[in-house]
Structure 1
Amino acid sequence: AMSSYNQALRHRPALYQAHNAIGSIHLKLGRHDAALSTLELALLIEPRQVEALNSRGLVLHALGRFNEALVDFDRAIALDPELALLHNNRGLALQELGRLEPAQASYDRAVELDPISTDAWSNRASLLTQMHRFQDAADSCMRALSIDESHVAAQNNLGIALHGQQRIAAALSSYEQALALDPTFAQAWNNRGNALHDLQRMEDALSSFEHAIKLQPNHAEAVNNRGMVRQDLMQLDAARADYDRAIELRPGYVEAYQRRAALSLLQGRLAEGWADYEATHARPQNSLAGGQAIPFWQGQDLRGKSVLLSEPNGLGDTLQFFRFVPRLLELGARVTFLGPRSTFSILGTFSPRVGFIDRIDGAGFDYQCWLWSLPHYLHIHAADQLAADIPYLHVEATRVHRWASVLDARRFNIGICWQGNPGRKIDAGRSVPLREFEPLARVPGVRLVSLQKQFGLDQLQGLPESMDVQQLDDFDEGPDAFVDSAALLQSLDLLVTADTSITHVAGATGRPVWLALNTVPDWRWMLGRSDSPWYRTVHLFRQPRMGDWSSVFHDMADSLQLLVPGRLAVRGA
């Protein structure tokens, strides 16, 4: 066909139809530069041709020139507003530009004009997933599949929507159905790998990512995800090589930088870790100042300067990184922390020299800085620089007395916490089934006290008789985060917990913690050590093998057998 059109152009160089057809062929073959130049010739000849405008828009989209693609789709729609395909393609460009609401309006218009457009229904589902409207996304996929059950993209997008709802097994099934329809679909292999990883089927996940990379060697996401699995399998050098490659393939790839940062920190390579994290974190679009033009602090002289701090990653990281605030005060800064009001009670015990606000009301600041950025610019490069004066957070005495009264002083009281938020991917592999704590309950004199909140409370039902777990009423139910937990910890003999935020509450207030860790833990607990450079009162118990919590808790029970009798004897219990 190409030769026929070229022959036609030799006789009629200004033949629009031939230029348009050749451009479309180049587009289908992925020859985007050739397609663009040919379609531009076609549009010079016939600037109001909808087909050529749409094709050039698709080429520009494929080249990552989304604003220009949007202009072409808008011009085409102005000429033919009832053509559903144009609204679908406009939605694709808007979605890439992050203009999600207008993108949805375009997809909605596409399916209104053509209710059996499977591509539009599937693309709409992809957008709704990006908006975290997972059930709506699944419904949109089902509309597409009801029209064409062999629509591969819709089957894959259904998997993504189910995955977003934490229906991992169902998501895996959808990915595998997509691959049964098209075994060469690299993105479905990648998504299948993510589902298998979340199901803790690491070797199968690795194989799935390998399939994706074999099909598409430059698939940055699959390379990055292979690194994630290799890290979980303790193949750390190979994991780092994958993160390096992912960044090479996609410069500025935030998730790859973050994973490489976490790996460096896990290995104690602090300078590299902070630098990688900072490469993605301190950007104008990540401003904590709500769009105000406040420069980021990056090591400038702070004498007499005001600094606005915040932390996007939750209370645990806030408690952990607050240890660096005194160094700013020593440098002469006036420090204000921006965060939710619920954190002010516990953080407010830190220092009267730190101010707290829950919104920016126009007050001027010389600098802004994320708490996470402080160790990079303070040059915290060695583990022994992480230490803080413990405790650096404190608890109201009357609240301590109140919660001490609910404990049996004749017992060795152990606070327990077993689960984080299951909706957060970071929780995978960290949480511990409550029944694993049973060896602790069997130690004579021990009483387990639940500090668990919100998630995992259903596990308190149907426990064996040997597991008597004390539950507390009206615990941390007020507006202030963790104030009751912090108070109760002052009277408990020990906290035994999975890797959750309460570890930081106990560590920052100087209370003893035994922390149960999986084989490759979160970066902050590093590798190959039983102590923590972050908190001198935290002792680490690590899984010897992936998924082996039994060994962890039997080791703890053995240690308790040695500890408890002496403690109770001192009390005369």
Structure 2
Amino acid sequence: MSANPGTIERAPDPQIGQARSLLADGDATRAWQLVHEVLSARPDDPDALCLGGKLALLGGRVERAQELLGRALDVAPDNVEAHLELATLYRRSRRLEDALDELSLALHYDPENAAALFEMGNVRSARGELEAAIEAYRSAVEKDPAMAQAHLEMGYVMLKLRRYADAVEVLERGAELDPSNLSGQNNLGYVYVRLEQYDRALDVFARLCAQTPYSRLGPRLNYGNALSHTGRLGESERVYADVLQHEPNNFTAHWNRAHHVLARHAFAEGWQEYRYRLQVDDVWHRRLIPFAPYKGEALEGKTLLISAEQGLGDQIMFASCLHEVVSRARQVILECDQRLASLFQRSFPGVRVIGSRQEMQPLWLREVGHPDYHLPAGNLPGFFRSRLEDFPRHDGYLVADPERVARWKERLAALGPGPYIGLSWRGGTRGTRRSFRSLSLVDLLPFLRVPGLRFVSLQYGDCAEDLETLRRESGIEVAHWPEAIADYEETAALCVALDMTVSVCTAVIHLNGALGKPVRVMVPAVPEWRYGVSGEAMPWYPSVRLIRQAARGDWSEVFARVADDLGRRFAA
């Protein structure tokens, strides 16, 4: 019986072995010369054809690479390396189906091939099949636990899926296997930031900045960001200033710097920087709103469309500028989150309010005619809040439904005599500094025990366990009505019915402040820019008082000051 020509084992050519060694040492030119010598003598040598294709691909000669690799497979269909190189070529050319075909063949001939599984992960990632990519990378590291790049790519895909806790483990392993991989180190530092492990992030980015030329700006931007999260704002600003000196139009540096400038109330400069968010893909989700951008033109006789952006709190905050716009324009059309639409319509009767989900191509555009100008809501303050003096001393600009307010007053009265204090103790997500903005309900006992007060939960999300733990450990019951949280009209009405609210930094602050209700905010040592860097006042809302943490992690003084304030304000 004759052997299958596709499975004959070929003795390696010494010249090809030498060529591979030269390539490994970075001498592609000499490696190609040896390959050319072999092909001149043996034009159908599959190993020479395969290595020649790899060298051509490395040199950017795609057509030549495809030709040589194809010839190698004509001679030896089981040449796994040729299938792999051709798959890489196809992936880089965005011929992803063809790449998958080549990888299927490579794994058919060698199911244990870690390199083929790794490339399968690359192709799946390029196709947007991120879970399948993770599985392919995981299979690759099972076959070859020392494959650093598979760990690093798997971690990067997990990062894109915001699976930060999973990503950190594989990125740490990848960085341990290949400390010289700068992109992997940068991604690891980024994940540390997302996990709020800022000291670790600073170590990574400081090391990267020391190891790389200044032209590599990514680690420096991340270093500045990590510095800001730890409250080292001056150092962070200097990092961004250095980046902008080297690359004046670096959008991310401008955007990050905006937070520092606005936090110290340099509003005119800060709003100019804030506009750069529109150029940062991770921040701004582009939408198809085809009207002329508003740049400060006279609005008399004109229609201005204001589109929604960011979360509920920001939309409420930016809406504080609407009265100035309405007084100038013939018509104002305001897009907002669906949950705010009826509240906004009642509060701004001269405005046409449209509730939406911030779709990329909004269907409601068909109903608004052709506005003269369009403005993202976050650009409003740049025209009307350039100085601290520009912030009005208002008593509230949102109007809750009076009937709902009356019903909530009745329900509060049924609890017994007041005063009634609203309470929110958790804010943010893993990506928005949740640990800085969230507390245990039991931690609040220093002021929950102030006599004569009845506390009412304004906490969103599932908080039943928190409430039960507090009741069991202290005997204190906090009223909680889920229906008041599920509907923002009900939330607003309940806030008006309450005597005061005490909260961490979350959207309920903006709601109460916009309703003109008194609020005490427990502010972390490193707050978001909206809360400034010092003082008790919040320019956006005269009824809000900020009680600041002196040091990260220590809330004791804040709780004591809240207790003192409540005791004095509501003394029997």
TM-score tier by shorter-chain length is: 0.7 to 0.9
1:515 counterpart letter in structure 2: V
> Shift in Å at residue 507 of structure 1?
0.7
Correspondent of 1:465 among 471, 474, 482: 474
Which residue of structure 2 lines up, in the alignment, with residue 112 of structure 1?
104
> Shift in Å at residue 319 of structure 1?
0.5
**Alignment check: 8 A CA contact 2:194 2:430 kept:** no
Between the aligned partners of 2:64 and 2:352, the Cα distance in structure 1 is: 51
1:236 counterpart letter in structure 2: L
**Alignment check: 8 A CA contact 1:107 1:123 kept:** no
With the length of structure 2 as denominator, give the TM-score of the two structures: 0.78
Between the aligned partners of 1:554 and 1:285, the Cα distance in structure 2 is: 39
Which is higher, the Rg of structure 1 or of structure 2?
Answer: 2
**Alignment check: 8 A CA contact 2:457 2:479 kept:** yes
- Indicate the SS of the match to 1:415: strand
Does 2:358 align with 1:373?
A: no
Which residue of structure 2 lines up, in the alignment, with residue 320 of structure 1?
317
Cα gap change, 1:518/1:149 in structure 2, threshold over 3 Å: closer, same or farther?
same
- Indicate the SS of the match to 2:310: coil
Between the aligned partners of 2:387 and 2:238, the Cα distance in structure 1 is: 23
**Alignment check: 8 A CA contact 1:289 1:368 kept:** no
Correspondent of 2:409 among 400, 404, 420: 404
**Alignment check: 8 A CA contact 1:267 1:526 kept:** yes
For 1:255-270, list aligned pairs within 5 A. 255-270=252-267
Q: Say which is worse superposed, 385-394 or 503-512, in terms of deviation.
A: 385-394
- Indicate the SS of the match to 2:366: coil
Between the aligned partners of 1:287 and 1:172, the Cα distance in structure 2 is: 26
Cα gap change, 1:399/1:211 in structure 2, threshold over 3 Å: closer, same or farther?
same
> Shift in Å at residue 296 of structure 1?
0.8
**Alignment check: 8 A CA contact 2:155 2:171 kept:** yes
**Alignment check: 8 A CA contact 1:230 1:239 kept:** yes
Which residue of structure 2 lines up, in the alignment, with residue 364 of structure 1?
370
Between the aligned partners of 2:321 and 2:143, the Cα distance in structure 1 is: 58
1:392-429 per-position Cα deviation (integer Å, ceiling 9, x unaligned): 11011111111122213512221111223424334352
Between the aligned partners of 1:167 and 1:391, the Cα distance in structure 2 is: 40
Which residue of structure 2 lines up, in the alignment, with residue 215 of structure 1?
211
For 1:136-285, list aligned pairs within 5 A. 136-163=132-159, 168-217=164-213, 218-247=215-244, 252-281=249-278
Between the aligned partners of 2:68 and 2:377, the Cα distance in structure 1 is: 48
Between the aligned partners of 2:92 and 2:386, the Cα distance in structure 1 is: 44
> Shift in Å at residue 335 of structure 1?
0.9
> Shift in Å at residue 535 of structure 1?
0.3
Which residue of structure 1 lines up, in the alignment, with residue 388 of structure 2?
383
CA RMSD of aligned residues (A): 3.9
Between the aligned partners of 1:85 and 1:350, the Cα distance in structure 2 is: 64
Between the aligned partners of 1:384 and 1:107, the Cα distance in structure 2 is: 62
Between the aligned partners of 1:51 and 1:388, the Cα distance in structure 2 is: 74
With the length of structure 1 as denominator, give the TM-score of the two structures: 0.77
- Indicate the SS of the match to 2:545: strand
Between the aligned partners of 1:225 and 1:507, the Cα distance in structure 2 is: 33
Unaligned runs of 5+ in 1: 1-20, 36-48, 61-68, 95-101
Cα gap change, 1:472/1:146 in structure 2, threshold over 3 Å: closer, same or farther?
same
2:311 counterpart letter in structure 1: G
Cα gap change, 1:409/1:142 in structure 2, threshold over 3 Å: closer, same or farther?
same
Same amino acid, percent of matched pairs: 24
Count of residues paired in the alignment: 508
1:88-127 per-position Cα deviation (integer Å, ceiling 9, x unaligned): 4554575xxxxxxx86x67655643444424424435755
**Alignment check: 8 A CA contact 1:27 1:59 kept:** no
For 1:77-96, list aligned pairs within 5 A. 83-91=83-91
Cα gap change, 1:388/1:108 in structure 2, threshold over 3 Å: closer, same or farther?
farther
> Shift in Å at residue 141 of structure 1?
2.6
**Alignment check: 8 A CA contact 1:346 1:394 kept:** yes
Does 2:319 align with 1:310?
A: no
Correspondent of 2:346 among 349, 355, 364: 349
**Alignment check: 8 A CA contact 2:189 2:201 kept:** yes
1:256-280 per-position Cα deviation (integer Å, ceiling 9, x unaligned): 3221111111121212221112134
**Alignment check: 8 A CA contact 1:125 1:157 kept:** no
Cα gap change, 1:181/1:265 in structure 2, threshold over 3 Å: closer, same or farther?
same
Unaligned runs of 5+ in 2: 1-18, 33-48, 75-81, 108-112, 357-363
2:351 counterpart letter in structure 1: V
Q: Say which is worse superposed, 546-555 or 81-90, in terms of deviation.
A: 81-90
> Shift in Å at residue 521 of structure 1?
0.5
Between the aligned partners of 2:301 and 2:58, the Cα distance in structure 1 is: 54
